[in-house]
Chains A and B, each alone.
Chain A
C-alpha cells in the first residue's frame, strides 16, 4: 500500500519570498509522483509530475519539485511567490504496478501569500 504525508498543513509567506512545501511518501513499489493545485472553489489542476528521467521537474509557472528516492520525498519549491499562488497544494502518488492505477493524495498544504 502507498501513503503520502504532507508535513505542513498551512504555510504563510510574504510575496516575493521563496517557499518549500514538503511531501514524503511510503510505498513498497516504485511510484510516479504528482503535485496538484486547487484554487478556491475550483477543481484540482495538475501542476507537475515525475515519471522518469531527470529528478528535477518544473511547471510553467515557476514551481519545481525534486524527486529524492533515498529520502522518499518530492518537495515543491518556488523561488519567489505571487499573491496568485495562494491555493491548496496536494502531493500524490500512483504505483508503477500493473493494472488500473489511481492517485493517492496527501492531506494538502494551504499556501497563503501575503502582500
Chain B
C-alpha cells in the first residue's frame, strides 16, 4: 500500500515570498491533516479536512496560510507571504476516519522541509 506522498521535500525561500506544498493521502482515507513541526517541538495541527470540508482550522494563521482539498483527495497548503518563523517541517497525514476507533491510525508523510531566509 502506498503511503502519504508529499512534495517538495525541501524548499528554501526568502521572506515575503510564497510557497506551496502538495499532499496525496493514502487511497480511501477521508481525513487529511496538515501539521507544522518547528525544530525542537512536537507537531502542531494546522488544519484538518474530512473529505473536502474543513473540520478544524483553529490554529491556522489565516492571514498568510491557506489550504484546500478539492475533490476530497489531494491537498495543497500555501504560505503567502512567508515569515522567518515559518521555517519548519510541514507534515501531511491521513486516516480512514475518526482517530482512536479500531483501525483508524493516523499515517504521516515524510514531510516538506521549509527554510525561510
Do the two chains belong together in a single complex? Answer: yes
A residues sitting closer than 8 Å to B (CB atoms) are: 4, 6, 9, 32, 36, 41-46, 49, 51, 90, 92, 94, 96, 99-108
Q: Are A105 and B100 in contact (CB under 8 A)?
A: no
What is the CA–CA distance of A108 and B35 in the complex, to the nearest angstrom?
Answer: 15
Neighbour of A102 across the interface among B48, B105, B108, CB < 8 A? B48
Smallest beta-carbon distance B27→chain A, Å? 18
Q: Which of A4, A51, A99, A101 contacts B102 (CB 8 A)?
A: A51
Residue of A nearest to B30 (CB): A100
Q: Which residues of B contact A106 (CB under 8 A)?
A: 42
Asked whether A108 lies within 8 Å of B108 as measured between CB atoms, the reply is: no
B99 with A43: CB separation less than 8 A: no
Residue of A nearest to B89 (CB): A43
Q: What residues make up the interface of B, taking CB atoms closer than 8 Å to A?
A: 4, 31, 33, 40-45, 48, 50, 55-56, 91, 93, 98-100, 102, 105-111
In the assembled complex, which residues on chain A have CB atoms less than 8 Å from the CB atom of B44? 105
Contact (Cβ within 8 A) A43 B109: yes
**A100–B50 touching, CB < 8 Å:** yes
Q: In the assembled complex, how far is the CB of residue A111 from the closest CB belonging to chain B, in whole angstroms? A: 15
Q: 19 interchain pairs (CB within 8 A)?
A: A6-B42, A43-B91, A43-B108, A43-B110, A43-B111, A45-B108, A51-B100, A90-B42, A90-B43, A92-B42, A100-B55, A102-B45, A102-B48, A103-B43, A104-B45, A105-B43, A105-B44, A108-B40, A108-B41
From B41, B45, B50, A103 is in contact (CB under 8 Å) with B45
Smallest CB gap from A44: residue in B: B108
Q: Which 10 A-B pairs have the closest CB atoms?
A: A105-B42, A32-B100, A43-B108, A44-B108, A43-B110, A100-B55, A94-B99, A107-B42, A105-B43, A101-B99
- Closest chain-A Cβ to B104's Cβ sits at a distance in Å of 9
